[in-house]
């Protein structure tokens, strides 16, 4: 079982309204509520940007009034000064409000978005995770969400302002002199003519290759780091490095192709939109008109001041273009994750009649053409203890994982209390079945919170009682902060300790069905025996299915079930099976068991 399996299962035991609402939602539905909120931010931004024009227009009007022949119109001067100052104030106010609100909404939206992704991932069949690279999934939940949100949060306001502000300036300039206005627009037209070159299919392909190469580097780093201990122990570091180095080499080649294609066009656009070039065009046009007597010298001033602002929309398009393309691709990847069909939830959960577990003609395979379980029939009566044994790869872990519904069988059914797992709501299922698997991952939270994962409001006394039953209480008291010690931060626990915490978690959840993969590293023999006694004393109506590795555990069981190549080959009481001298007896001897 992987980390995500464990976390997903833990989270599913305490479902939230978020996780409920996430099921089946499409990306556009997820985005819609945020889009409305960000419209408010965009409107504030546009008002601020428009108000920002007032000081510029005031300077222009002042210049034209002061430079005009004849007496100075004082009233006009004061109006310009007051309107300019008011505009500046409004601009500051609205820009600050939109920026503050935008950032708050942005972080809220990112949080809900990630929660919804996590909730969806919690409902995806676990088999899906084993086919994904951890690095790629981390990129979707982390970077891709970040790439989408600035787009909703900032782009609309910036884009609208970038177009509205120059448009207002343009109208104003037209009223002064339409010919010089057209001349002022020359740099903008030049830059716009270059935009289609950025959108050529070759550029899009290069950008996609660039993203893929980045993804490959991320996954090879994650794989390398995850496997570093094994790699070092077996001296294969050159080979492991090799994969990373190949990914980097690939990236360098892709990067140069990407830069070559983009940089020529980008440099041309930057030149056309640069202030010196714009000023040059306006000055050449303006001075020749003044010389010919068709423009008053004072009227050149507004073109010099506002002309620079006219290039903003194209510059914004250029800057925003990369972000928008990146966001588009990020949306695609997020959509792909959200569209993975979750394990279906029943529309009308059915009440269980008792807790008898029954697997009927169960077939299952991780891949379509390879069955791991072939026609398994198994009944676990309430209050019984069943030991599952069999050679490595026979399908034991796969079989027990069907009970917490990590997967649905491809054929046949698994029922509890007479109800197919597919008809039981996930909350009810996780109140009915708890599990402790070998590969336990604990949350980065306090020991107490880890134990109380399925019962968040558990009393401390109950947490301690569960820890004592699981024989981990004394070890917890030795930790720096006892039950408040943060796992993974203050302390790192051994595999056996982590598994006992996981066992305490399952015991506190107190479900009628307990599924356990008995690890060989579970504990030292004395503790192990004490735990077995504790589990046996829980007894009552609790049904236990244990993947047994130790002869002592098998001997304790009411029933032993022997699995081979995905089928049950023998079953019965341990002593009876031993007496039969069949496959189980042979297996028992190979495991070092003694006849009792």
Ligand X SMILES: Nc1ncnc2c1ncn2[C@@H]1O[C@H](COP(=O)(O)OP(=O)(O)OP(=O)(O)O)[C@@H](O)[C@H]1O
> Would you tell me which residues interact with ligand X (CB under 6 A)?
127, 130, 366, 372, 390, 392-398
Q: What are phi and psi of 379, to 5 degrees?
A: -120, 130
Indicate the residue among 392 and 594 with the shorter CB distance to ligand X.
392
**Smallest gap from residue 545 Cβ to ligand X (A):** 13
* Residue nearer to ligand X on the CB measure, 344 or 393: 393
> To the nearest whole angstrom, how small is the minimum distance from the Cβ of residue 441 to ligand X?
16
Sheet holding 419-420, edge to edge: 373-380, 357-364, 411-416, 419-420
Assign residue 581 a region (left: φ > 0; alpha: ψ between -120 and 50; beta: otherwise).
Answer: left
Q: 410: helix, coil or strand? A: coil
User: Minimum distance between the CB of residue 30 and ligand X, rounded to whole angstroms?
Assistant: 29
Residues with Cβ < 8 Å from 181, sequence gap 6 or more?
170, 173, 174, 303
CA-to-CA dists, residue 372 to 132, 295, 378, 437, angstroms: 20, 87, 16, 19
Q: Helix crossing, 312-338 with 145-153: angle to 10°?
A: 140
Which long-range contacts link 492-500 to residues 24+ away (Cβ below 8 Å)? 493/442, 494/521, 495/440, 495/519, 495/521, 496/521, 496/522, 496/523, 497/472, 498/440, 498/441, 498/442, 499/436, 499/438, 499/440, 500/470, 500/471, 500/472, 500/475, 500/531
Instruction: Give the nearest distance from C-beta 410 to ligand X in angstroms.
Output: 13
Question: Closer to ligand X at the Cβ: 246 or 411?
Answer: 411
Judged by CB, which is closer to ligand X: 167, or 521? 521
As measured in angstroms, the least distance from the Cβ of 225 to ligand X is 21
User: 368 or 461: whose CB is closer to ligand X?
Assistant: 368
Burial of 244 (0-12, 13-18, 19+ CB in 10 A): middle
CB of 388 to ligand X, least distance (A): 9
Closest approach of ligand X to the CB of residue 432, in Å? 22
Question: Between residues 377 and 541, which has the closer beta carbon with respect to ligand X?
Answer: 377
- Closest CB to ligand X among residues 256, 366: 366
Query: Considering the complex, what minimum distance in angstroms separates the CB of residue 127 from ligand X?
Result: 6
- At 193, list the tokens: 């003519």
5 by Cβ neighbours in 10 Å (0-12 / 13-18 / 19+) ranks as buried
Alpha carbon distance 541, 360 (integer Å): 22
In whole angstroms, the minimum distance from the beta carbon of 354 to ligand X comes to 28
Nearest approach in angstroms of CB 442 to ligand X is 21
Query: In whole angstroms, how far apart are CA 19 and each of 112, 167, 342?
Result: 10, 46, 12
Nearer to ligand X, 325 or 397 (CB): 397
CB neighbours of residue 594 within 10 Å: 9
- The closest alpha carbon to 421, from 360, 502, 377, belongs to 360
d(CA 322, CA 191): 16
Decide whether 402 or 577 has the Cβ nearer to ligand X. Answer: 402
Nearer to ligand X among residue 390 and residue 512 (C-beta):
390
Q: How far apart are CA 220 and CA 135, in angstroms?
A: 8
Task: Please state the closest distance from residue 397 (CB atom) to ligand X, in A.
Answer: 3
φ, ψ at 386 (rounded to 5°) = -110, 130
Nearer to ligand X, 94 or 587 (CB): 587
Phi, psi of 434 (to 5 degrees): -125, 165
């Amino acid at each position: 079982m992987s980390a995500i399996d464990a976390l997903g299962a833990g989270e599913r035991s305490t479902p939230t309204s978020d996780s409920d609402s996430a099921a089946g939602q499409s990306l556009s539905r997820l985005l819609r509520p945020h889009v409305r909120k960000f419209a408010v931010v965009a409107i504030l931004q546009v008002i601020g940007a428009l108000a920002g024009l007032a000081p510029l227009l005031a300077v222009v009007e002042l210049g034209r009034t002061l430079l005009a022949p004849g007496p100075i119109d004082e009233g006009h001067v004061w109006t310009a000064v007051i309107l300019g100052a008011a505009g500046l104030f409004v601009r500051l106010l609205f820009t600050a409000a939109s920026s503050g609100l935008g950032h708050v909404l942005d972080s809220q939206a990112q949080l809900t978005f990630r929660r919804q992704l996590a909730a969806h991932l919690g409902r995806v069949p676990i088999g899906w995770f084993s086919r994904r690279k951890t690095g790629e999934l981390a990129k979707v939940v982390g970077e891709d969400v970040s790439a989408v949100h600035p787009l909703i949060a900032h782009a609309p306001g910036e884009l609208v302002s970038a177009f509205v502000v120059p448009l207002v300036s343009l109208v104003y300039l037209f009223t002064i002199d339409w010919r010089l206005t057209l001349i002022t627009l020359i740099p903008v037209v030049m830059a716009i003519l270059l935009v289609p070159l950025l959108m050529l299919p070759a550029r899009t392909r290069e950008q996609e290759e660039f993203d893929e190469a980045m993804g490959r580097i991320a996954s090879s780093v994650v794989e390398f780091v995850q496997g570093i201990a094994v790699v070092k122990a077996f001296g294969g570091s050159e080979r492991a490095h090799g994969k990373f180095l190949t990914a980097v080499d690939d990236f360098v080649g892709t990067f140069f192709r990407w830069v070559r294609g983009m940089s020529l066009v980008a440099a041309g656009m930057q030149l056309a939109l640069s202030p010196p070039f714009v000023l040059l065009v306006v000055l050449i046009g303006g001075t020749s008109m003044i010389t010919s007597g068709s423009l008053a010298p004072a009227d050149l001033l507004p073109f010099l001041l506002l002309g620079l602002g006219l290039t903003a929309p194209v510059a914004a398009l250029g800057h925003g273009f990369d972000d928008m393309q990146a966001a588009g691709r990020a949306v695609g990847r997020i959509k792909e994750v959200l569209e993975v069909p979750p394990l279906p939830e029943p529309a009308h959960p059915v009440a269980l009649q008792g807790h008898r577990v029954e697997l009927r003609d169960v077939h299952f395979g991780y891949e379509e053409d390879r069955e791991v379980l072939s026609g398994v029939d198994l009944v676990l009566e309430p209050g019984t203890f069943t030991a599952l044994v069999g050679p490595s790869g026979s399908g034991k872990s796969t079989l027990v994982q069907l009970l917490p519904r990590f997967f649905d069988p491809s054929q046949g059914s698994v029922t509890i209390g007479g109800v197919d797992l597919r008809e039981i709501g996930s909350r009810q299922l996780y109140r009915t079945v708890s599990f402790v698997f070998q590969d336990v991952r604990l949350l980065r939270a306090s020991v107490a919170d880890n134990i109380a994962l399925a019962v968040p409001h558990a009393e401390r006394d109950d947490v301690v009682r569960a820890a004592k039953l699981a024989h981990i209480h004394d070890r917890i008291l030795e930790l720096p902060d006892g039950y408040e010690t943060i796992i993974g931060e203050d302390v790192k626990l051994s595999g056996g300790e982590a598994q006992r915490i996981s066992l305490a978690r399952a015991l506190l959840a107190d479900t009628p069905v307990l599924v356990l993969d008995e690890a060989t590293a579970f504990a030292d023999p004395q503790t192990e025996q004490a735990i077995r006694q504790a589990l046996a004393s829980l007894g009552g109506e609790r049904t236990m299915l244990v993947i047994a590795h130790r002869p002592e555990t098998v001997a304790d069981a009411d029933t032993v079930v022997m699995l081979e190549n995905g089928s049950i080959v023998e079953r019965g009481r341990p002593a009876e099976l031993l007496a039969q001298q069949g496959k189980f007896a042979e297996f028992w001897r190979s495991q070092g068991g003694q006849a009792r």
